[in-house]
Structure formats: C-alpha cells, structure tokens
Amino acid sequence: MNTALAAPLDGFEADGAKSERAEAAVPPVSRQSVIGLNAANFFLAEVTGVVMPFLGDYLKEQKWSEVAIGLAISCAGLGVFLMQTPAGMITDRVCQRRTLLAGASLILGLAYGLLPLVPASSFALDPLLFIAGVSQAFFAPLLGALALGLVGHAALSRVMGHNQGWNHAGNLASAVLAMALVGALGLTSVFFAVTAVSILAAASVFVIREKEIDEKRATGAGDAKDGRGGLRQLLHDRRVLVLLAATALFHLANAPVMPFLGAYIKQLGGSHVQVAAVVLVAQAVMIPIAVAAGFLCDRWGRKPVFAIGFLALPIRILLYTLTSNPWVLVALQAFDGIGAGIYGVVIVAICADLTKGKGGFNALSGLIATALAVGGVIGPLGAGFLAEHLGYNGFFLVFAGIAALAATVFLTMMPETKGGSDEPRGRKTGHVLEPGIAGCTIGSIG
C-alpha cells in the first residue's frame, strides 16, 4: 500500500471488507486527493455558513421591511429546494463532477459578492439569492459522489465522518472570520469574503486527482450494467419511503427550534454572546461526533448509530422546557451537535447502501435533501403561530412530539441497511477499490 495514504485513510475500510476481495496491485487513493476532498468540505462550509446571519442585518441597514427581508432570505431557500432533487440526478449523469462543483462554488461566490454592489432593491437582490441557492443545491450530492468515487462503499462511512468533521470546522471558522471582519471592515466585507473563499473551494476541488475517481462507482452502480437508477425505481423501495418520511419529520421538528431558541434566550435576558454560542456549541460538538459516527456505523451498523441521532432531538427539545437559565439552554445545544453530527454522516452511508450495485446514489441523496427541505419550509411556517399562542414551552413541547414521532417511524419501520446488497466486484488494494471508469456520459435527465 502507498504509505502516503496511511495517515488519512488508515483503518477506513470496513472490518469485513478486507477478507471479501483479494489484494491487487492497483493505485490507492493518494494523500493529495484526501486533502483536496477535506479542503473542499471545509471551504464550501465557510461559503454557505457565514452569509445568512449577516444578510438580515445588511438588508435592515438598507431600510428593508421585515416582510421584504423574509422574502429575500426565502429566495435562497427556494433555490435550494427546487434544485435539490434535479442536482442529485444531474450528479448521477455527469462525469465532470469536479468541474461542476467548482463552477457551482464560483457562481455562488459571485452571486453573494455582487450583493453589496448592485442596487439594494428586491428586483436586483432576490434573483442573486435564488441563483446562490440553486448553486448550493449541488454541493452535498457532488461531495458525496466524489467521496464514493474515490474510496468505494467499504470506506465511505469513515471518509464521510472525516469530511463532515472538516465541514463543521469550516462552519466554526466562518463564524469566527465573519465576526472579525465585521468588526474591522464593516458588514459588506462578509460578502466579499464569501467570494474569496469560493475561489479557494473551487481550487481545492482540483487538488483531487481525476484518475483516482471511479465515475461509475460514484453513482452507486459498481459493476452494474445500468448505473442510472431512476426515481421511480427508488420510490418502489419501501426503505426509501420510510427514510423520506423519517427525515422530513426530523427536520420539521429541528428547523424552527434554533431561531426561536435564540429569541427565547433574549426574552430571558440573555446576551448576544449567548445567542452566538447557541451555534458555536453545536458546531464544536459536531466535529468529534461526525468522526465517531463514521467509525461506529461500520462497527455497529447504520440503524443503531442513526437511532442515537433521532433520539437526541426530542430529548434536547424537551429539556428546553425544564430550564430558564440561558447558559443551560446554550449547553443543551450539545444534543444538537450529536444529532446533526450523526445525521450528516449516516444518511450518506444509508443512501449508498440502498443504491449499491443499482446506481442512483446521488438522485436518492437529492431526494432525501428535498424531503429535509420540505420539513424545513413547513416547520417555520407554523412555529411563529405556536410560539405566540402557546408560549415557548408549549412550542417546544409540540416540536418535541414531532421529533419523537420521527424517531418512532425510524426505529420501528426502518431496517438495517449495512450489508444489504453485494459489494461491487471491483478489485481493491489497501483501502480502496480499483478505479475503472465505464459508461459515464453527460446526458439529459430522464
């Protein structure tokens, strides 16, 4: 085995995979490609994690109304929502995934960089935010496809754990960088910083060596003749339907909680530092949890690890009702770090399991992300009404109930997916399958 690979990928392969296939003299994944993939996760998180908290402040400075600000922010969310499933399908269809990801990063960076330069009207800003959302929809499926194409199913969970750790580190870095820039250079500097970081993200993608990416395996197809599993085929799988329902309910409960938790902390007399700490605590916990989840979902299976993430959510929301101390509320965000840290890793592993040998890995990832977005749209719509009429404790109890329902659906109806289908018959050396690009074209979706 290439010693350059040992540090980043040592031990990534699932325990049982080493005995499944004979060793063969083929090039392993290089340290360079691993660094490129981690850097892409880090910088793309910085690009997407820094803008929204400051966008509302910027628009408020431009004398926009609360309604106009809400509509502007929703344009970015609408772009992500509408493009999420198509982005996954496109990712399954193209071979030039590095180029597509770099292009999406640059377009998003340009859109945000133009915000302070164009007239501060909804006619100018709303389309830019929508374009940014459309571009962002490509990030998750393309990063997942590159990881799967590089290391295959056996090592995917471990690699995704490390990738998600770098992703959460990027979110932390973006928050710290943004606060420093705003203090030193003013609010608009944040948008220009996003443009600069988007260039770094695009450059990091090309650090990944193209020859090490098995483009067909990146769809989940393995050696299957047809690597283009369609949505109709996916939706005939009962496990996919259960997963869609559980994840939609999970995000329906989770999405409104953090914004309203910040408002609750302010109502209790908390400070801006405590509101900011709500995000920082969760992100800090997500880093080690993501790495551990990648290891444990190979050791224990996907379902036991994911169950911890599902159960952490109702426990966390319920505990909010038992205290009125702002710092205790901040500390409870550690449960958010557990749930989100596990989710980002295990959902990719399950999607890979469900599409192994059939293709459609990225289409399924996009479909799951769309279900998540549906929950994220519906949840906030009713959250304000509940908080106003039931108070914050009533609000938290309702959403704790929804989170408990999500956990119940997953625990009672979702089977274990690890080892549910045969490993593709590619050969491997050390830690990865043999790269072998076959049958991948740029084509229409259908």
Helix, strand or coil for residue 15? helix
H or E, element range at 428: strand 428-429
User: What's the rounded Cα separation, in Å, for the pair 427 and 1?
Assistant: 14
> 220-417 has which CATH code?
1.20.1250.20
What pLDDT does 380 receive?
Answer: 62
What is the gyration radius of the CA atoms in the chain, in angstroms?
A: 21
pLDDT at 306: 94
- The predicted structure's pLDDT at residue 309: 93
Residues 334 and 285: their CA atoms lie apart, in Å, by 6
Would you give per-residue pLDDT tens digits along the chain (446 residues)? 333 333 444 444 444 444 333 333 334 778 899 999 999 999 998 777 667 667 776 787 788 776 677 677 778 778 888 888 898 889 888 888 999 999 999 999 999 999 999 988 888 888 998 999 899 989 988 998 898 888 887 788 788 888 888 888 888 887 778 778 877 888 788 889 889 999 999 999 999 998 888 877 777 765 444 445 566 777 788 899 999 999 989 988 887 777 677 777 777 887 766 766 777 888 888 889 988 998 898 889 999 999 999 999 999 999 999 988 989 988 998 998 898 889 988 998 898 888 887 778 888 888 888 887 776 667 666 666 777 778 888 888 998 999 999 999 999 999 998 875 433 333 343 344 333 333 343 333 33
Tell me if 1-215 shares its fold with 220-417: yes
Please name the residues in contact with 58: beta carbons below 8 A apart, sequence gap of 6 or more. 115, 116, 187, 188, 191
The Cβ-side half-sphere exposure at 3, using a 13 Å CA radius, reads 0
β-pairing verdict for 432-433 and 428-429 = antiparallel
End-to-end CA distance of the chain: 41
Q: Which of 48, 145, 45, 37 is nearest to 366 (CA)?
A: 145
In this structure, are residues 149 and 98 in contact, taking their beta carbons and an 8 Å threshold? Answer: no
Residue 1, beta-bridge partner list: none
DSSP-assigned letters across all residues of 77-129: HHHHHHHHHHHHHHHHH-S-HHHHHHHHHHHHHHHHHHTTTS-SSHHHHHHHH
Please tell me what DSSP assigns to residue 199.
H
Measured distance CA(361)–CA(359) in Å, rounded: 6
pTM of the model: 0.71
pLDDT in tens, 139-157: 988 998 898 888 887 788 7
Instruction: Give the pLDDT confidence of 200-240 residue by residue, as tens digits.
Output: 999 999 999 988 888 777 777 654 444 455 667 777 888 99
Helical H segments across 186-208, by residue range: 189-205
1-215 CATH, one of 3.40.190.10, 2.40.50.100, 1.20.1250.20, 3.40.50.720 = 1.20.1250.20
Give the residue among 373, 338, 418 at the shortest CA–CA distance from 140. Answer: 373
Question: Dihedral (C-alpha) 354, 359, 362, 365: value to the nearest 10 degrees?
Answer: -20
State which H helix or E strand residue 429 sits in. Answer: strand 428-429
Output the pLDDT for position 314.
94
Question: Taking the domains of the chain in order of start, what are their residue ranges?
Answer: 1-215, 220-417
